[in-house]
Structure 1
């Protein structure tokens, strides 16, 4: 396999980071890696960062031929999370060990389409572009979207939601499970903040990529952050996440996380996109649900009710999070990103 893009003058080298934590997703992990290795625009390297799971670390190292060769000799490298438990520290471990000019992130239960990295790389032809995200489509365990589940809340299951602009467009922040960043930008502003996103606790927290993107554009005012919906991944949604209980808990946790972000960057920046979402996108979604219910279409009333319940849960989480941040200071840690070490790192 080629280890670097060829035939494209000035094209950036891309390292792909996939953070993993459980052997329960073994098949998903192998599928995610296989989709990266099959890209039309070859990745420089694929880094699997294992989050404090020695058994999974050993199993993956064996599966991908950890023979002690140099990093450049292996298209897939297996690393142990060098920081505290959680997604942010895992991503920062991958950043520190990577060598690419662009660092792309893929969820461990997602499969990228063949031109995923190609469209990411094309975005960086403009030197002002510091991040490029893509479109994430849900793959429901039940093989079809639950009738009550509103597309406006697909972010609950880590997917692109109704309300995001289509095509290739400038955004405030990219979504972390399908995103890429210019390394030089992260070296300037630091990596993902620990203490905001998922860390192995019960609540499915998030927003670490939102905080990073806002921090980046504040440090580099001319920076452009893009979403290109041609960069597509397919994200598996397990049966447990098709239930209303998870929907409610994830919305509540989003409010908690959003409160930390606004405590750090201010409500104006932290809620800029959310204002349009809550005042335009969600009311339109409720109206569609009510209309569908009146027309006798399945799930209309459920979708309208879920939008109202999801917004209420998010608001409750946000209110509690604001109170906690004021009481406790809302502190979290931002990791430094070292200059590319050409693969030096904690390889398994």
Structure 2
């Protein structure tokens, strides 16, 4: 494989033009020199975000994530096909770091770590999934790439907002199974690739920030609107990959776990008792639907007419820009400096400390730069002790936390 093999980045979008605009802005700064963007979306042209990037838009209006991804696979021309959600923002180094996994010839798929909506806590790290759809979390000793050999009973689980596959093996196994409209779609691919003898890799430093924007199945607080598709996918997955299992007993256990989760939402005032009853009923209806679903794999299509159109690389890359605001400094001035540097194509990180109890929050600004905001007495992580460092120490600690991903150095601060 070449030093920078061609990558096709497939993004599936349904209605979410605001979060999509943020993702597309971030992709202007991806360091990887050889990737195209394929956007499978229901948005009409007048609602599509403006972007200078060479995007291949493909209209698709069905609410079926697997079918949409298969359309992207058929359109892809890269040796590697990567996926990212439309409510996510990858680090500048994401694609380049993720694709290093494929330097190992036996690796057919790779995934990375995912940070949650506050930009700090991890939403996803590393887990194996068995043939009953059950996760087993795996702790990694360091940040190096770890390869998991193919196994007949479980596979490394990749998540759709941060994963990549060799194009040929992915097509050889039939791409995504369109019987999975939502949920367990990637896990099914992971199992089938392992069955075909392909190893999988976890790349901790290939990071994506995932915001969980509202969609057809849950709101932006991760409260489900329906559990029908989750139920259908759960029943179908077990039927497909563990046909000798006691299905009804497994689904009863799955229902109990879902009910436990819903009761927490009820206790926190996020759903009513009536809504809880509806959601459990929708789960049961989904089970019945899933029991009768049949496999629907990728249908091969003629080669795409459009040529591989890589995102232009910055012709004169410069060192990343690190800006640190003073606690009482007016924000508009330093944010204008950050926006101006980003407009020049620079990778910009803006640190905004303050004398308060505000917890650390990291977000990506639509003008093209990262903003890290925190109070000196605020928590850096949800379960961490309250920090006792002075202001300069807090600033250096935060810069060091992302130094590898961003290429930053706080030695001169």
TM-score by length of 2: 0.54
Cα distance in 2 for residues equivalent to 1:225 and 1:257: 23
Question: Secondary structure at 1:100's aligned position in 2?
Answer: coil
Deviations 1:27-77, CA, capped at 9 Å, x for gaps: 3112212222311113421111113x4x2x3443x8347xxxxxxxx6322
Cα distance in 1 for residues equivalent to 2:163 and 2:124: 20
Cα distance in 1 for residues equivalent to 2:137 and 2:7: 29
Q: Is the 8 A contact 2:110 2:200 kept in 1?
A: yes
Cα distance in 2 for residues equivalent to 1:227 and 1:332: 28
Mark the runs of 5 or more structure 2 residues left unpaired by the alignment. 128-134, 149-154, 269-277, 309-413
Cα distance in 2 for residues equivalent to 1:59 and 1:248: 25
Question: Secondary structure at 2:103's aligned position in 1?
Answer: coil
Cα distance in 2 for residues equivalent to 1:241 and 1:192: 25
Q: Is the 8 A contact 1:38 1:114 kept in 2?
A: yes
Cα distance in 2 for residues equivalent to 1:315 and 1:134: 32
Aligned-pair CA distance for 1:91 = 1.2
Q: Where does 1:1-348 land on structure 2 (aligned, <5 Å)?
A: 9-22=2-15, 25-51=16-42, 53=43, 55=44, 57-60=45-48, 63-64=50-51, 75-81=54-60, 84-140=62-118, 163-166=137-140, 167=143, 168-169=145-146, 170=148, 171-197=155-181, 205-218=182-195, 220=196, 222-238=197-213, 241=219, 243=221, 246=223, 249=226, 253-266=229-242, 323-326=288-291, 329-338=292-301, 341=304, 343=306
The alignment of Structure 1 onto Structure 2 pairs a total of residues equal to: 268
Question: Secondary structure at 1:48's aligned position in 2?
Answer: strand
- Residue 37 and residue 337 in structure 1: after superposition, are their counterparts in 2 closer, same or farther (change >3 A)? farther
User: Which of the two has higher C-alpha Rg?
Assistant: 2
Q: Is the 8 A contact 1:47 1:76 kept in 2?
A: yes
Task: Give the stretch that moved more between structures: 129-138 or 164-173.
Answer: 164-173
Q: Is the 8 A contact 1:16 1:47 kept in 2?
A: yes
Deviations 1:261-318, CA, capped at 9 Å, x for gaps: 111122689x9xx9xxx9xxx9xxx9xxxxxxxxxxxx9xx79xxxxxxxxx999987
Q: Supply the RMSD in Å over aligned alpha carbons.
A: 4.3
- Residue 247 and residue 335 in structure 1: after superposition, are their counterparts in 2 closer, same or farther (change >3 A)? same
Aligned-pair CA distance for 1:332 = 3.6
Which of the pair has the greater relative contact order for Cα pairs under 8 Å at 6+ separation? Answer: 1
Q: Is the 8 A contact 1:100 1:183 kept in 2?
A: yes
- Residue 152 and residue 45 in structure 1: after superposition, are their counterparts in 2 closer, same or farther (change >3 A)? closer
- Residue 248 and residue 75 in structure 1: after superposition, are their counterparts in 2 closer, same or farther (change >3 A)? closer
- Residue 316 and residue 260 in structure 1: after superposition, are their counterparts in 2 closer, same or farther (change >3 A)? farther
Cα distance in 1 for residues equivalent to 2:120 and 2:220: 10
- Residue 162 and residue 187 in structure 1: after superposition, are their counterparts in 2 closer, same or farther (change >3 A)? closer
- Residue 258 and residue 315 in structure 1: after superposition, are their counterparts in 2 closer, same or farther (change >3 A)? farther
Question: Secondary structure at 1:190's aligned position in 2?
Answer: coil
Q: Is the 8 A contact 2:83 2:161 kept in 1?
A: yes
TM-score by length of 1: 0.63
Cα distance in 1 for residues equivalent to 2:166 and 2:296: 21
Cα distance in 2 for residues equivalent to 1:216 and 1:152: 21
Deviations 1:220-251, CA, capped at 9 Å, x for gaps: 2x31122212111111134874657x25955x
Cα distance in 1 for residues equivalent to 2:62 and 2:236: 19
Q: Which has the higher helix share?
A: 1
Aligned-pair CA distance for 1:179 = 0.8
Cα distance in 2 for residues equivalent to 1:208 and 1:133: 15
Mark the runs of 5 or more structure 1 residues left unpaired by the alignment. 1-7, 66-73, 156-160, 198-204, 287-298, 304-312
Cα distance in 2 for residues equivalent to 1:226 and 1:113: 19
